Structure 1
Amino acid sequence: MNDSVTEPTAGAAFSVVLAGGGTAGHVEPAMAVADALRALHPDIAITALGTARGLETRLVPERGYRLELITPVPLPRKPTGDLVRLPGRVRRAVRQTRAVLDDVDADVVIGFGGYVALPAYLAARGGLRRRRVPVVVHEANASAGIANKVGARSARRVLSAVPDAGLGPAEVVGVPVRESITGLDRRALRAQARAHFGFAEDARVLLVFGGSQGAASINRAVAGAAPALAARGISVLHAHGPKNTLELPARGPGAPPYVAVPYLSRMDLAYAAADLAICRSGAMTVAEVSAVGLPAVYVPLPIGNGEQRLNAMPVVDAGGGLSIPDAGLTPEFVAETVAGLLSDDDRLTAMTTAAALAGHRDAARRVARVALEVAQEARAGGARRPQGQAR
């Protein structure tokens, strides 16, 4: 891949449309790529597609990017009323997306899956009296969703987090992660991070989280093991979710801190404070945890099509973590296996190294460079609409 992408000598700055609305797993990679694009070309025009009900309504403006809302197109997996309404929603969303592509004079569309990706892929194909906009598809999960499978058929470049994601031949680049995480030096920040949460500088710290809403099964297992963890001298930082509460058994006087919070707004400090994590294995979680070199016990969500288990496997196979089924995460497992791991310095060090090697710190920049290459090739080939052509 060419490492030097330069702006064409004539014409306006590149215009990029990001299609990754809906969940944090789609929005966060899109925003990480947006930041990387802006770092490469400060004058680049970036537009994010989203829906009125997605997290992007908050996250995109907070990051300083333009947001255009279209009709959501959820792809139902079972025969429901949504399936009957799907064709009309698709047509409406495609019309809306075409208007956005024309309005911003898009050079390239980068799709990340989710509710807005399918309309973006279809709109980018062009049609009668409409130009075609080249597409780059990025799949964060180990098992591709329907929207990205459709987009990959006509995409100029197909990128994925792991090999064999179900999109055919794809370039493996990892999951784009924001620079505040990929640039994190856990060792340099450790003392500050532990002081922030009230831990001793030489503490042994277990980080527990289950996504933005928490995970009840993880909460029960770790809380149930609290006395055993305290007896082994292990401190705990536990984000249990804003709608959940923890029932912690009584612990003896002088026990190390068990810090329970609804939500962690400073994940960078949480990662720096921890020696080991217990967490779900969504694509973004695995990407962030491995990018900072934090060993983890991954507990895949027990519903869906099994993609969370697959997401964690490259890191687990590399030696940077363990994977345990949701039903297998019991207080006994935490008290014995997890506590034992936290007491094994040699194994923790080896897992830390393996996790860091398995991570992809440069994924956002790689996706950005691919998109700029595609945009530049399209301009060189005359795909950009001539000035004055009707929209």
Structure 2
Amino acid sequence: MRRAVPDATITFVGTQRGLETELIPGAGYLLHTVDMIPFDPSIGAKRFLLPAALLKSGAQCRTILREQGAQVAVGMGGYPSAPVILGARMAGLPSVIHESNAVPGRANQFAARLTPHIAVAFDRSRAHLSGGQDARTVGMPIAASLARLDRAGTRDEARRAFGIPGGARLVLFNGGSLGARRLTEAAVGLAECWRPRTDVHLLIKTGPAALDDTRRRIADAGAGGVATVVPYLDRMDLAYAAADLVVCRAGSATVAELATVGVPAVLVPYPHAPGDHQTHNARVLSDVGAAHLVPDGDVTAELLADLVEPLLADPTRLAVMSRAADPGTHAQAADLLAAQVMRLSGLTFPSLPAHPDLEHTA
């Protein structure tokens, strides 16, 4: 949107509970907060308060939209997005929702009943949304550095950046922004098993909280030569370019990134995701042979060794997995979604990428 309309006014709606209170103002955008509770059965008796909370926060959003002079409301699927779409309906404004997961969350299942304008990251989520048969598959917006990544051309630079020994196969363990205990435990065990080897290397992202303990355990196991432990990765483009195989969760952004850059993966869905949506996300890649799906409860160092070692020893098989991934439209998703938003406000997106779904008028 900023590239298309540099002076556009873009504001956000959230709650006081989430990271948005830091991240959005930190990025230079205005954040409005509303009184909304999660669409979550685990909140127990509070679930009976949900209709009243939704009406209250919807009215708050209607006021925000009118005061901002908004032309379009966009819901990205988090629970604060539901009152935004409701508020737009109350204010008589057009709105669009984007569903990023293969199985939609409760907020978008509700919001889809309030707007005919639905965009999805994966085709298979259409069946779970009211009006989903008319949804537009635009992909999942990903970072520009990944959208344009030349994995083969960047590989040597990336391996130097992480200090990967020449000729060693690299397995990247990526547990998300906060890490994943199950994956970290398996990675430590695998590093201990592989500690005498020089032909493989592990890059383990732990999240800040588990960093010191993981480094200590790797050192105590004498596995420092085969494993590098980092709290986070600020250059995912280099991490993907350096890796021969990724072991990770199956969030929608991660699946879209893997599909776009073509890195073979072992996907371990987070078992407590609402609607088990990470398993459905993982199947987008596993069903076509671009990844192996391993249930969280089955993940051990021994199982990963049995699965990963034959893959690393067979470059042809890894190449087949890489080619099996369908890059889809994730690299263009931000532009495609922005174009749909602009059509609803009567504007034309400049240099619109070719995409048949956007030939329709809004």
TM class, shorter-length = 0.7 to 0.9
Per the TM alignment, residue 132 of structure 1 is displaced from its structure 2 partner at its CA by 0.6
CA deviations over 1:198-230 (Å, ceiling 9, x no partner): 213543111001112211111122211114444
1:233 equivalent to 2:199? Answer yes
Per the TM alignment, residue 356 of structure 1 is displaced from its structure 2 partner at its CA by 5.3
What's the counterpart of residue 144 of structure 1? 104
Q: Contact 2:191 / 2:226 at 8 angstroms: preserved in 1?
A: no
CA deviations over 1:102-145 (Å, ceiling 9, x no partner): 1221111111111211111111112xxxx411111111111111
1:294 equivalent to 2:263? Answer yes
SS at match of 1:107: coil
Q: TM-score, normalised by structure 1?
A: 0.80
What's the counterpart of residue 5 of structure 2? 41
Per the TM alignment, residue 83 of structure 1 is displaced from its structure 2 partner at its CA by 1.8
SS at match of 1:137: strand
What's the counterpart of residue 17 of structure 1? none
Name the amino acid aligned to 2:288. Answer: A
1:192/1:72 CA distance change after superposition, 3 Å: farther
1:226/1:359 CA distance change after superposition, 3 Å: farther
What's the counterpart of residue 179 of structure 2? 214
SS at match of 2:308: helix
1:155 equivalent to 2:91? Answer no
Name which of structure 1's ranges 186-195 and 330-339 shifts more when overlaid on structure 2.
186-195
Size of the alignment, in residue pairs? 336
Name which of structure 1's ranges 324-333 and 272-281 shifts more when overlaid on structure 2.
324-333
> Matches of residues 68-217 of structure 1 in structure 2 within 5 Å?
68-78=32-42, 80-126=44-90, 131-165=91-125, 166-167=128-129, 168-169=132-133, 170-217=135-182
SS at match of 1:338: helix
In structure 2, distance between residues paired with 1:92 and 1:226: 52
1:303 equivalent to 2:272? Answer yes
SS at match of 2:66: helix
CA deviations over 1:220-247 (Å, ceiling 9, x no partner): 2221111444437111110122222323
Q: Of 316, 325, 331, which residue of structure 1 is paired with 2:286?
A: 316
Q: Contact 1:191 / 1:201 at 8 angstroms: preserved in 2?
A: no
What's the counterpart of residue 341 of structure 2? 371
Q: Contact 1:314 / 1:358 at 8 angstroms: preserved in 2?
A: no
In structure 2, distance between residues paired with 1:299 and 1:313: 11
What's the counterpart of residue 250 of structure 1? 221
In structure 1, distance between residues paired with 2:299 and 2:309: 13
SS at match of 1:225: helix
Name structure 2 gaps, 5 residues minimum.
348-362
Q: TM-score, normalised by structure 2?
A: 0.86
1:189/1:66 CA distance change after superposition, 3 Å: farther
SS at match of 1:195: helix
Per the TM alignment, residue 358 of structure 1 is displaced from its structure 2 partner at its CA by 5.2
Per the TM alignment, residue 78 of structure 1 is displaced from its structure 2 partner at its CA by 4.6
In structure 1, distance between residues paired with 2:336 and 2:253: 16
Q: Contact 1:138 / 1:159 at 8 angstroms: preserved in 2?
A: yes
CA deviations over 1:34-84 (Å, ceiling 9, x no partner): xxx112222222111122221222332343333222223311315624224
CA deviations over 1:338-384 (Å, ceiling 9, x no partner): 1221121111112222225357211111111111112218xxxxxxx
In structure 2, distance between residues paired with 1:357 and 1:268: 15
Q: Which protein has greater RCO, CA pairs closer than 8 Å, 6+ apart?
A: 1
In structure 2, distance between residues paired with 1:91 and 1:50: 15
Identity level (%): 38
Greater percentage in helix: 2
Name the amino acid aligned to 2:335. Answer: R
In structure 2, distance between residues paired with 1:302 and 1:232: 34
What's the counterpart of residue 267 of structure 1? 236
Name the amino acid aligned to 1:175. Answer: M
CA deviations over 1:6-30 (Å, ceiling 9, x no partner): xxxxxxxxxxxxxxxxxxxxxxxxx
Q: Contact 2:248 / 2:265 at 8 angstroms: preserved in 1?
A: yes
Name which of structure 1's ranges 114-123 and 183-192 shifts more when overlaid on structure 2.
183-192
In structure 1, distance between residues paired with 2:114 and 2:2: 26
